[in-house]
Structure 1
Amino acid sequence: MSTSTDARADGQARAPHIADSHEMIRVHGARVNNLQGVDIEIPKRRLTVFTGVSGSGKSSLVFDTIAAESQRLINETYSAFLQGFMPSPARPEVDVLDGLTTVISVDQQRMGADPRSTVGTVTDANAMLRILFSRLGKPHAGPPGAFAFNVPSVSAAGAITVGNGKKEKVTFHKVGGMCPGCEGRGTVSDLDPAQLYDDTKSVNEGAFTIPGYTGGGWNSRLYAESGFFDPDKPIREFTERELRDLLHREPTRMKIAGINMTYEGLVPRIRKSMLAKDKEAMQSHVRAFVERAVTFTPCPECDGTRLAAHARSATIGEVSIADACRMEIRDLADWVRNVQEPSVSPLLTALRQTLDSFVEIGLGYLSLDRPAGTLSGGEAQRVKMIRHLGSSLTDVTYVFDEPTAGLHPHDIRRMNELLLRLRDKGNTVLVVEHKPEVIEIADHVVDLGPGAGTGGGTVCFEGPVDALRGSDTVTGRHLDDRAALKGAVREPDGVLEIRGAQANNLRDVDVDLPLGVLTVITGVAGSGKSSLVHGSIPEELGVVSVDQSPIRGSRRSNPATYTGLLDPIRKAFAKANGVKPALFSANSEGACPTCNGAGVIYTDLAMMAGVASTCEDCEGRRFDAAVLEYHLGGRDIAEVLAMPVAEALAFFAEREARTPAAHKILERLADVGLGYLTLGQPLTTLSGGERQRLKLATHMADKGGVYVLDEPTTGLHLADVEQLLGLLDRLVDSGKSVIVIEHHQAVMAHADWIVDLGPGAGHDGGRVVFEGTPADLIAARSTVTGEHLAAYVGE
């Protein structure tokens, strides 16, 4: 394909127009989120990298426009009945979108927190192991289902007709591999009765501390009027029988206020109503109760393997399927290579290929029994890649969201090779990325911007990497940025002693982390960095941890509600207008009555995909019209929530709207680089990097003395890394001790002290291989990190 370019109206270069849909994906007039009528043609069967500052519109173009429309069109090929069971996004706001192929999105969304979902189950490695053990395991334990921890063993009575025409009763057995003690979860839960009630109170005095069991509702009435105990007697005075009836009584039918109801002890009732649900899907107050009242321990019956006894007893050689799933995957791959049995040769070949893919992609340190919900965003994305590396499909569009997230510089080269391999099989590969190492291998680059939010959403550049360097775009100017070592490092004002750390793969680690300075923890993925920091620092030190776990909240949640900013804003509006603060909440009295403050009306079309449409009464502003009559500094509440952080910062500094409490929160949001976010933007629309920085902003006012940040450069553009370094400096200079787990060489170079773990991952890691200043690490060149940092700073 020619790399010649023609002039654009905005003075930037662009690729030639090729109308043939066999060669190009053509997008015209894209207006999703902040995209401002984007027109672009993306070459097929090439590797295209999308760059731009955070919030410039990269994900809106790649995921919310191209990938979303491909999925919608595929769903429309199914019957209306089947479509009712599929997610079906609305058509993106775009005038023309053609040349699409099937899109496979490989994003950083964490995998479901289902307790039975493991690395093995989500990649089919477990399925192949089950077949292998059902064929070769001794003693023979049955079909593959006998080794599946999500298949229970059941017995059922029935009848069969025998030769004389008579029917005989028989019992049918289905043998599954689920441990009956933990039902395949690997852990058992125990309720702490002390968390269920205040034993100094009676039931009628509101003793229950369980969500939904207070305030005289049916749940509390059921127990108060059961007759099994005196509802006016404090629970601490209950007899042994009364306490057993309260906590453990079996289901008993009774009438309460003339209504037939079933009474059951609190413990089994709570187990059924709360513990059987996905904790992450619970309302925040219910989840807080469960986390407080429930303890989880490895199942004593199966030793945490999830498997029934018969599944654990069958072995190949001396290895059971439980042993195999507990091995590090690279060790399991070696074990499978030593299994020689011609009758299952095709199965062994497929299993070896899958396991080798884990090793190749840098995940050989994982085990197949690792719960999927515990993987980081970067690990989850790479596990999803496993499914596609051996695929025979071609002419597919693969879409990646920062595939280098969580990767040490040493591992980025391997990731690049995988991306190129997918391209060379005849696929189109679209990558949203900030790392220069990935941008360098692109056939084509699309740079969005020039800014973020309303200041972005346009294509600033299209073309090859060399032309990007010469362009006057933010990405082009910063592509070759390199942070230099500091002239002088800070002196610590104390040390945090960690002794005998053994969490996960740590090998009895002793290390002193300096206090009052910027300490960076480095090492390849799986070397033990998070285990050392998150698993070894005592909570009593006042640790403020900002990790990469998702933000919990509904689609009504936004930066204003999450940070507590909405409270001073509501009070300021109330004071200025002489009314109640609740009027200025779209979740309370001020909500539009038509859409209940959601801003949209959702229409359920049963078997067809539901439709969300903007509320016609409030026009998406979420508030009752009467509420919008009240103003602060000439703006109504909906207009304030539509402001970007940077604009709101100036607004709340003006005399008519001066609100010091709001101003402080807005300053913190601006400090972490979120000045472009609007106050009312739904949290569900934020990228992973934006969510992490939002969490950092909320914690900046905490009084903790030790700040722990987990890869804060995730999602940051090259131009924003310098701002992050300044923020880290301000935290340290304000008297905080800052510990950062990080792979980015710019952060390493800026550190006062580095602790490098390794030398490898899994059982090859877990040791401190270097402690000292960045300059000493470069001079020693004794570790992989040292080699890459030396190359980065040009020494």
Structure 2
Amino acid sequence: MSEPKVIRVTGACEHNLKNIDIDIPRDQLVVVTGLSGSGKSSLAFDTIYAEGQRKYVESLSAYARQFLEQMQKPHIEHIEGLPPTIAIEQRSASSNPRSTVATTTEIYDYCRLLFARAGTPHCWVCKKVISSQHASQIVDSILARPADTRIQICAPIIRGQKGEHKEVFVHIQREGFVRVRVDDEIYDAKSAPSLDKNKKHDIAAVVDRLVLKDGIRIRLADSIETALKMGDGVVNVMIQEPDGQKNNGGEGHWHDVLYSEKYACNDHPEASLAELSPRLFSFNSPYGACRACDGLGTILEFDPDLIVSDKNISLENGAVEAWRKGGKRMNIYYNRLIKRFCRYFGIRKSDPFSSIPAAVRKILMYGTTEKDAKKYGHRFEGVIPNLVHRWKNTTSEFVKARLHSYLSESPCARCGGTRLRQEATAVTIGKKSISTVTGMSIEEAHDYFQSLKLDTEKTLIAAQPHIDHKLQTGANFFQRLGGDQ
């Protein structure tokens, strides 16, 4: 018996179908269209799909049927030529700004593994290849700082991990350390704070506190070696420069310098990597994401073209739209501010905005620099700094919504839209960073992975979990699929 060429439905009465007889061609793309309520879904899903599923389930054993949903028999007289059916649920598409083709297809996961295991890190300041630092090199770098510099040598034990970490505090005390640094605050080890187990924390043992002076090298070297051992090859040095101590009564600002036995630049100690791990290359991880844009690649900024949408309007007639739509008191305040601005910088408030010199327009938008203040003899906050201040400090949802209309997305200036920290983009394979590779077209990425040449050690590392094979296979698949089209 030959295979039927149609699905023949006779006497379909499901829902609002009125005794429908229809032949639907098989092995073809068939579109069911019609007015709302005409019975499209009743025919396609509640009749054809339901009967196909029901008959398929009936063909299975009683044991298998108990695990499957049983569908009701639709109201039809007869249906023939019906194969087993499937239906795809319709859902509204959700736009996730953190999803890309590479992350969705998991190709990016293999890219992260490849760069973490076979990448060559560079200093993001001077672009030189960086290598591991020995304890003696770390000591030399610290001693190169001015005399009387205060330092605190810390051994990082917990870095960005959730938990209460009570056992860590016990371990630090057993090792003989009397101070501990928890989330950038110094505590006595015996009175360490209770931590929220649902939040991420940083914990370090304070190994030593020193003032740089002659004869300190041996003690410093011992403390650095102890910290490196306890911190798994990483030591964090808190530094307070002598100038900061004098200007602030001995309580100047401290800043951190991270040293690592693994990767660091000799000329720029701040360009250090604690480790090359896959999470460093993830813009969905706080360790890999750009600090400025949080891994989105774009930031919301006040847009001068939205603030002054009509360049032909004068300042007195409300060219600065964001300052025009306030309450009565706010309008009076901003009108006085504009009058002072025009008087300070030698322009007429009746002139169209477009006729104001570019240098003065820039001051109006962004405020005076030190150079501007000396030239004109006056200071001005600027429209955009004023709006930023209001945006950050207002508690009114209405004001927030109104100010939001003057914001626009622009590429993040810090990461250049790569979404990643500078430490991650400074790691290369074949002179390409991971952001450059993921920005390639499918064809370019295919050629890159095919032509990739690694030294013997890195080839073995990349081949161990079949990273290189997975990437080439993925690129081949998308090229055949027509992903560039």
**What's the TM-score once normalised by structure 1's chain length?**
0.27
The structure with the larger Rg is 2
